[in-house]
Amino acid sequence: MMAHPPAAGGAGGGPLAPFVPPGGGAAATPAGPTAPASAASAPAAAGAPSQQGGAAPVMAGTSGAATAASLPEPEVSADLMLARQVLDGLVRGTDASWNTIDSGFVNWAVSVVRTQFGPQLVIASSAGGGVYVPASVYIPTTARIAPRDPALPMRWADKYMGWRRPADVLAGHADALADRASGVVRSALVTTAEGPRPAGWQDFETATLRSILHSPGSVPVLDGAHQHRLAAIDLDLAQQISTVGSGASEVPVAAVITRAVVEAATQTPAAMIKGSPVSSADGPIQVAEVADLAFLNELAQGTPIDWAAYNNEVAQRHDGNATIPHLNGPLDLDDSKDSRDARLLYIAFYRTALIAELIRYWQRPASPSLADIVYCAVVSGFGQVVASTLSTLERQCR
């Protein structure tokens, strides 16, 4: 059973890299780009009160508000403040749009885990088993995406594919770290998805999307403290892509990579079970359809493109599931047949949605986002195709 889209390159088990909190002073140097002191630009989220002591209770009677105001504010740990701040930025950066994965409605969770190597800042989303990051979101350069943590085996989080509570992914991440290293402390965990409190955390909060978006704040931008989603899963590849340039210089490289990936995707079953492709009412599910390749041919020939028609056709594939994989996610994290089957369907539609997202970057043919095209290719399981295509292009340029 294919429990997760193939990861692109690299193996797990790398060393734990320390995290330097914004304004955290002297801590061990992180592995990767170092963020300046203000690692997140958005202010702390105005989320729901902590289950370990939020706002002071208002007592009954006309003087209740005054009594509450006179009570001292509860102390909030630096780790909880940091997790709130990062969650705020993730929520504000998420751009809901009908033609993106799950219509752009993504829940988030952020944790701070303390280890003997220093504190770790970790994030997870409710899409792609915690991996998926929408293109509009820039994450702190010092943050790790939980399922891609190099300190853990590559496929440790397979069981979370299709699971909609990212806090459970981060709780599982902390448990997996504790199994491999001593001295792991579950410090702070905040999330936007309702659910039971994970065991063992010093601080835990749930903040609704509405409470964050209805409070003052700003959207993080791509700067020295925030990185593109491709850099968060493969920094070396992101740096390689950055040498291509931007705008018109990206077009020929993006075109070659897009065609190579879509050609491979039309020949690849989206998921397998007992040696056979997972099927829907439309038959076996391929990662991409022959219609996608035909559409790319029209683009290459300069034919006027009806993007609305293309988007509508994709949205109706597989009974409307092709770009909304969460409709098929498992209801439990167990290994029952029902959960395994649901997980496989989720994987299949998640991969097809990523290819549709990749193709849609050509709605701006003069400046497609090469980094986002590569991100979709890698996360959908075609990182090796990207690597070999780039190698071929480099040889041709010598």
Pair (211, 260) in one structural domain: no
Which pLDDT does position 71 carry in this prediction? Answer: 57
Structure tokens at 34: 């170092």
In 278-374, beta strands by DSSP E: 279-280, 283-284
Pair (247, 363) in one structural domain: yes
The candidate with the shortest Cα–Cα distance to 349, out of 372, 315, 382, is: 315
- Classify 206 as helix, strand or coil: strand
Structure tokens at 33: 């780009």
Which pLDDT does position 320 carry in this prediction? Answer: 85
b/e map 257-283, b = 16+ CB within 10 Å: bbbbbbebbbebbbbbbeeebbbbeee
Question: Is residue 342 included in any domain, yes or no?
Answer: yes
Type of residue found at 164: R
Question: Is residue 383 included in any domain, yes or no?
Answer: yes
Last residue of a domain, one of 233, 257, 289: 233
Provide the mean pLDDT of the chain: 84
pLDDT in tens, 246-291: 778 899 999 999 999 999 999 999 999 888 999 887 789 999 999 9
pLDDT in tens, 309-346: 999 999 889 888 888 899 899 999 999 999 999 999 99
Q: Is the pLDDT of residue 129 over 90?
A: yes
What's the pLDDT band for 4 if we cut at 50, 70, 90? low
Question: Is residue 270 included in any domain, yes or no?
Answer: yes
pLDDT in tens, 364-388: 888 899 999 999 999 999 999 999 9
Question: Is residue 61 included in any domain, yes or no?
Answer: no
Last residue of a domain, one of 233, 265, 300: 233
What's the pLDDT band for 292 if we cut at 50, 70, 90? very high
369 CB contacts (<8 Å, ≥6 apart)? Answer: 135, 250, 254, 361
pLDDT in tens, 146-192: 999 999 999 999 999 999 999 999 999 999 999 999 999 999 999 99
Structure tokens at 91: 């929520």
Give the C-alpha separation, 202 to 79, whole Å: 10
Structure tokens at 283: 């038959």
Task: Give the Å distances, CA to CA, from 382 to 264, 354, 385.
Answer: 8, 11, 5
Question: Is residue 35 included in any domain, yes or no?
Answer: no
- Please report, in angstroms and rounded to a whole number, the separation of the first and last CA atoms in the chain: 42
Pair (128, 261) in one structural domain: no
Q: Which domain holds residue 225?
A: 78-233
Q: Is the pLDDT of residue 360 over 80?
A: yes
Question: Is residue 321 included in any domain, yes or no?
Answer: yes
Pair (208, 282) in one structural domain: no
Structure tokens at 216: 């003052």
Pair (83, 225) in one structural domain: yes
Which pLDDT does position 17 carry in this prediction? Answer: 44
pLDDT in tens, 23-57: 443 333 333 333 333 333 333 333 333 333 333 33
Which pLDDT does position 302 carry in this prediction? Answer: 85
Paired residues of 118 in beta bridges: 115
Pair (84, 178) in one structural domain: yes
Which pLDDT does position 73 carry in this prediction? Answer: 59
Pair (174, 272) in one structural domain: no
Which pLDDT does position 371 carry in this prediction? Answer: 96
Which pLDDT does position 394 carry in this prediction? Answer: 85
Task: Give the Å distances, CA to CA, from 113 to 22, 201, 235, 356.
Answer: 15, 9, 22, 35
- To which H or E segment does residue 277 belong? strand 276-277
What's the pLDDT band for 193 if we cut at 50, 70, 90? very high
**Residue carrying the six token digits 């299949």:** 348
What's the pLDDT band for 19 if we cut at 50, 70, 90? very low
Count: domains in the chain: 2
pTM of the model as a whole: 0.81
Pair (212, 262) in one structural domain: no
Pair (173, 257) in one structural domain: no
Which pLDDT does position 21 carry in this prediction? Answer: 44
Question: Is residue 99 included in any domain, yes or no?
Answer: yes
In 285-342, beta strands by DSSP E: none
Task: Give the Å distances, CA to CA, from 100 to 94, 96, 97, 324, 357.
Answer: 11, 8, 6, 8, 6
What's the pLDDT band for 105 if we cut at 50, 70, 90? confident
Last residue of a domain, one of 233, 261, 281: 233
- In DSSP notation, 89-124 reads HHHHH----TTSGGGG---EEEEEEEETTEEEEEEE
Pair (389, 249) in one structural domain: yes
Pair (134, 260) in one structural domain: no
pLDDT in tens, 48-101: 333 333 333 333 333 444 444 555 556 889 999 999 999 999 999 998 776 678
Pair (226, 247) in one structural domain: no
Say how many CA atoms lie within 13 Å of 22 toward its Cβ.
Answer: 20
Give the C-alpha separation, 116 to 105, whole Å: 36
